Amino acid sequence: MKIERIDLYYLEIPFIYLFKTNGINIDSHSCLIVKIYSDGLIGYGECPTFNEPFYNYETITTAHHILTDFLIPLLLQKNINSPQEITQILSPVRGHQMAKSALDCAVWDLFAKKNNLPLWKYIGGVREKVTVGVSVSLQSSVVNLVERVSSYVEEGYQRIKLKISPDNALSCLTAIRESYPDLMLMGDANSVFSLRDIGLFKQLDDLNLLMIEQPLAYDDLLEHSQLQSQIKTPLCLDESINSVNDSLNAIALKSCQIINLKQSRVGGITNTIKIHNICEKGGIKLWCGGMLESGIGRAVNLHIASLPLFQLPADISATNRYFKEDIIAQNITLNAQDSTINIPQKAGIGVDIDEDKLEKFTLWQESFMG
């Protein structure tokens, strides 16, 4: 199919409440949405990067620059025979995986629509609903945290992820473990620990955590491997895995037992499938992470999480955990009895865009015809 036209939107969608993690404070979801037109169909993709380079180096401004000056010109008016060609076509640009992922996902959406299959079936997924959990924003006190976690558990979420730092990890995780002895509980450090915290990690080993996510530096694999060899709790990598090669290196170095796979962070769906298959061979567990995406990005994440190895609960929550109003017509809802979310069953990403909401949250829009 020929890539006839690409529309790019910059959106800001207000969150229900401020999302705080170590170093990141955001009160609205900023993102770029792409629409790709081909053969009478439209494919959608989302670049969920933040306004500031505090999670990875990309920002809305860098993604806009890379998309408009390099990536979109590489793709426009090209004839594409399979969605796997996109990573190759975009490969002259190094890095900038989130910018690339928006185009990659939109082309996968187009091909799934053309084949009249929901994306999960088109990529070889094996389940129609995904087990999910909540990533809880940092709270101002342990009392507030226990209250917030209780409300999520009451809603039906069976896995809770706390944002942790050397200051709060023991008190927060212990408080939740005491209230919920059997809850699937984990901590995400966003790189604020160091190997000097080894004594603390050994104390955390007693809390029966599902995993600790990204404790050490965002660009480190070696020290994660040294840490993993000294503690029982499985380590999970997030920020350190940005490519197929990163995952090969992490497996070779034994830097983690688990990978939090965000399709946007690794450049889209083709690389996600490659990493999935590498992890299957390497004995690494997988789950689907999130970037607080709009309904478009979260729909893609749901489809991805249908792949066989995505067996641990995903960071994909219901619409009402993030937004009062979203840009898709369908609300994403939690099945409270088993902490799952149904994967959309219509062709492609399987959700309809609410054009009024898209317009409402759009700050600017551009079209490219080649």
Both tokens of 210, joined, read 């599902």
Contact (CB, 8 A) for 86 and 268:
yes
Smallest gap from residue 26 Cβ to Mg ion (A): 14
Largest CA distance in the chain: 60
- Name which of residues 304 to 323 contact ligand OSB (CB under 6 A): 315, 317
Q: Does 240 bind ligand OSB (CB under 6 A)?
A: no
Q: Look up 163 and say whether it is catalytic.
A: yes
Catalytic site residue from 113, 161, 163, 274: 163
Residue nearest ligand OSB (C-beta atom): 290
Instruction: Please give the residues from 170 up to 209 whose contact with ligand OSB meets the rule CB under 6 A.
Output: 188, 190
Choices 97-105, 120-128, 188-196, 322-330; region in contact with Mg ion by CB under 5 A: 188-196
Least Cβ distance, residue 83 to ligand OSB (angstroms): 24
Min separation Cβ 21 and Mg ion, Å? 8
Among 283, 284, 238, 281, smallest CA distance to 263 is for: 238
- Cα–Cα distance for residue pair 104/3, rounded to 1 Å: 12
**CA distance linking residue 244 with residue 247, whole number of Å:** 5
Q: Please report whether residue 55 would count as binding ligand OSB according to CB under 6 A.
A: yes
Tell me if 246 contacts Mg ion by CB under 5 A: no
* R_g over Cα of the chain: 20
Q: For residues 319 and 292, is the Cβ–Cβ distance under 8 A? A: no
Of 290, 295, 313, 350, which lies in the binding site for ligand OSB, with binding defined by CB under 6 A? 290
Number of residues that bind Mg ion (CB under 5 A): 3
- Residue 361 binds which entry of ligand OSB, Mg ion, none, with Cβ cut-offs from 5 to 8 Å by kind? none
Q: Is 78 a catalytic residue?
A: no
Tell the burial category of 362 from Cβ atoms under 10 Å away from its Cβ (0-12, 13-18, 19+): middle
Q: In the structure encoding, which two tokens stand for residue 97, read together?
A: 């995986």
| Near ligand OSB by CB under 6 A: residue from 11, 67, 258, 291 | 291
Among 270, 310, 265, 315, residue whose Cα is nearest residue 290: 315
Interface with Mg ion (CB under 5 A): 188, 213, 238
Catalytic residue numbers read: 163, 262
